[in-house]
Structure 1
Amino acid sequence: MENPTLEIQLKTLPELPGVYQYYDANGTIIYVGKAKNLKKRVSSYFNKTHDSGKTRVLVKKINSIKHIVVDTETDALLLENNLIKKYQPRYNVLLKDDKSYPWICIKKERFPRVFSTRRVIKDGSEYFGPYTSGKTVQTLLGLIKGLYSLRTCNYDLSEAKIEADKYKVCLEYHLGNCKGACEGYETEAEYSNNIQEIKEILKGNFKDSLAQFKSQMKTFAEEMRFEEAQKIKEKLEILENYQAKSTIVNPKISNVDVFSIVSDESYGYINFLQISYGSIIRSHTLEIKKKLDETDLELLELAIVEIRQRFNSNSKEIYVPFNVDIGENIKVTVPQLGDKKHILDLSVRNAKYYRIERFKQIKITDPDRHVNRIMSQMKTDLRLHEEPRHIECFDNSNIQGTNPVAACVVFKNGKPSKKDYRHFNIKTVEGPDDFASMEEVVYRRYKRLLEEEAPLPQLIIIDGGKGQLSSALKSLDALNLRGKIAIIGIAKRLEELFYPNDSVPLYLDKKSETLKVIQHLRNEAHRFGIEHHRNRRSKMALNTELETIAGIGDKTVVDLLKHFKSVKRIMEAEFNELEAVVGQSRAQKIYSYYHKK
């Protein structure tokens, strides 16, 4: 190590939990990380070779290290999260504070108002949320308004002012939306009871409110107050209908946070569901851009801390797809079956849908990012050394053993480049020999590219199994291109990918984007090859005996066939009939040819 200061800092690091910060030569913080053991974790950056090029670049830029020792790993998680948000280091995943989420506020005042807000003021008021959707907030407020009569005015309803008749009831009272607390028509105890029920509903607990309304309805019915009983019945229906829509799992599952992750080469998508009394009361998906090829475990742990802070969650249990370490006071459950597994699967599905939607948006708004992501994914999936920006796919077509041809289609950045498509008529092979035909066309294609000094592809795909792949490899060997271009063979319904000198095929996920690109390539090669084969067969069908007559070309043959409809009628035609169609000179040649025979 060339930096003596850095070497001393490494040697003096404590073997305790904490947070470390890397600085570059300019004194700028470039990375923040947490560790159970600071000495071991930080030393690992310098005493081993990293697979990731990004990590190698980071290590080269580290000029000095600072660290903060904490009591527990939970403290380290929280401190790491806060430092990342504060300094936004270049090599950390991006975490942003988002303070624009709506809340439902129950104001600290006599006869509290209930309303939505995006500003949290620490004045003793109670806030529920934040909610990820304004629509959810409006639905809840609409439900509360339908169930309870609450005031909407901002008067100071102190006892003294009410007793002094300072206020008069407004239109809301006459419409039945408010019970007139401003004139003392409703007691504070009655109003407070409604507020308590509203708090339970906002927590997802409908049980107490349902029981309360049913009891009221029964009392009114017994007292023959049927009109009031009917109003309570309508409120019950509103509440039961809302509960039916929101309850998705076992009502016993309460006060639980659910987290799942779906990731690709560049991004991680972490879905969060908050469950209360069997209902999803919050759903949010966080997109995190990877900076140092972070694992799903690293991303999920970071996201859990961030999301729980952002949404002020105090749940004592979390459901996750694999074990995570986020603190001593939280129960971590990895569901295997039943209702718990069902809710985790739902979270995974939400993360996948969010990822798909983001892809659609990115494809429109940022096509370069879309292409870069697919290329990076293909590089990983197909075990390549570089991204396959230029791919060529070969397919043989010799239907019924006639007119053997081959097609070469070209994709650039994952899309067809039709101007670069080429077809080949097989010249050196007699009969239907797919292996020899493949060897010929691959040799001809790359011999020409080398002669013209044209760019070579990063990937060659051979439509066929091991035999076709071996034939193509012979040509690459002959041209000294073996190892310079990656080459794979596809066999049997795109289920198997064969590599040179590897008897075990690779199977791709049938839903992967890599497979979709390969399917598109193969379909294009097949279509282009069949089209050329069909054209050749059509041309051969017109190669009648007429074309063997000296001085008679394609246009003359077509004109004659259009007029006489068959070769037999042309053979039997009189001279003057032929002359009327093709002229004296050519009529004489055709008439003489057939009559001499």
Structure 2
Amino acid sequence: MSEEVQGEGRKQPRSDFDAKAFLKTVPEKPGVYRMIGADEKVLYVGKAKNLKRRVSNYFQRTQPSPRIAMMVSQILRVDVTPTRSEAEALILENNLIKQLSPRYNILFRDDKSYPYICLTGDTFPRLAYHRGAFARGARYFGPFPNAGAVRESIHLLQKTFRLRTCENSVFQNRSRPCLLHQIKRCTAPCVNLITEDDYAQDVRLAARFLDGRASEVIDDITTRMNQAAERLAFEEAAACRDQVRVLQAVLHRQFVDSRKDEDVDIVVAVEDAGLVCVNIAMVRGGRHLGDRPQFPSTAAGLGALDALLAFVEQHYRDHPMPARLLVNLPVAPVKALLAEVSDKPCAVIGARHATEKAWLEMAEGNARIAVQARLRDTGRIESRLEALRESLDLPEAPGRIECFDISHTMGEATVASCVVCERGAMKKSEYRRYNITGITPGDDYAAMRQVLERRYGKVAAGEGVCPDLILIDGGKGQVGAARETLGEIGLESVAMIGVAKGEGRKAGLESLVAADGQTVTRLPADHPALHLIQEIRDEAHRFAITGHRARRAKARVGSRLEDIPGVGATRRRKLIETFGGLDGVREATVDDLCRVDGISEQLAQRIHRHFR
């Protein structure tokens, strides 16, 4: 079906697909393309600003990597879907990748979670830590490699420019300055201790500093200091002097490697012991902000160059392009890719002088450290799974473990959680919560039966994934209810075990209850299998109680005195004083309520019904 042809630098497999004839039909529009292989299997899904130009790159005489060449050799058909815009193409591509899980798509799932610094669009803008979608009217600076870099920068900006960080709800209701003003971290615009114009000037300086123009900021503050000194405004001049000293100290510390106000991203890919890691380090305004290693979630025939190209494509779709991009692999493929991804120019370079070589060496070293840590974790996970297999006498180590827990407060707002551990790692994207209804409040057995029916009823019908092991947070009663439910569904063959709390609920004293409800196993406190079970159980408990508290709070918001017609401020105060709080009012009878001055029998009945 295929033959080997000699390219300019690499032997390249070629399929029987007639690329020339196909490319004549591809429009020069934005859209999505799908590479189809044998048995109609989707090999790859991609997005392009120009479909014709992008798809034709795959059918050149040479390919940048053996992985791409191998994929091209398997192509039997290419489907294209033109869209009206590149944004539509991006949405469609994401949906198709989630739906089809193509073999050759490389995903970096953590790449979209970089934090930013935000300056809000308020009259007195707030300095804030931000993750997620951008809001109109605000300014965002970043991305930063981690939360620590953001908080350090915010702390520096507070010391230097004294911008507010409080929420609007606090800002709008203050009557006197807060502690931050007293320790000279805020100019207290909440109580008008600074004019709007002066505050706006501080905001402009902070924005210029975040844009990497620190030298200009120092020059401006120095000018203000001299002008204040000439006017004999020595306190103002001293404040400006302190700002300059802080900034110069930061620049002295951060400019050890860089003497310029520059924005550079350093992206390196290393391959070690069969693992590939892409590490991105960020320099903003000459300040090295740290780095962040990434591991691809799919790695079919993956090499370092493939991983680097995939990361660059995904990262710079969603994050600003720096002035320079420093890479440790061939520059030409990265340049060609960025031309497709972004219209903003970016200089892609290799290390040219000592500073850039030092940045690359540091990024590569940290990537290798991350690989070694991942390998150690992998070995630890495998040993724990094998210990679990031996302890429970399973035919093989469980690849997917699901754990269930029930949370409520005396039967109120019952919530069940299901957390997933896959190959020893928690898979948060597949966690689920279930609001339990229609049972006797406090009946944990009925709650367990309901959540298992809802979770595994679909599995029995052929939908969803069946786990290799089910953990139940509970003792013999919960395990018995679970066993009956799974038997009714038809999944009694799935391995299941209960995790009963030990004496005093102390960690390490747990008992493992088998599905028969009779066999109880106690593992040593330092046993690796018990540690894995504890981690999964604790995560299920955390996830359940978080959901329960949210549901309970939402339910109680609807049970406030303010929501009852006829109960104004005066009557509310008397009710609270009489019964000692809202809980006392909730538990009061109609006769009790009638004894409060101003509460008629009709109103008492209305209040009583409201809380029930």
Q: In terms of Rg, which structure is larger?
A: 1
| TM-score computed with the length of structure 1 as normaliser | 0.49
| TM-score computed with the length of structure 2 as normaliser | 0.48
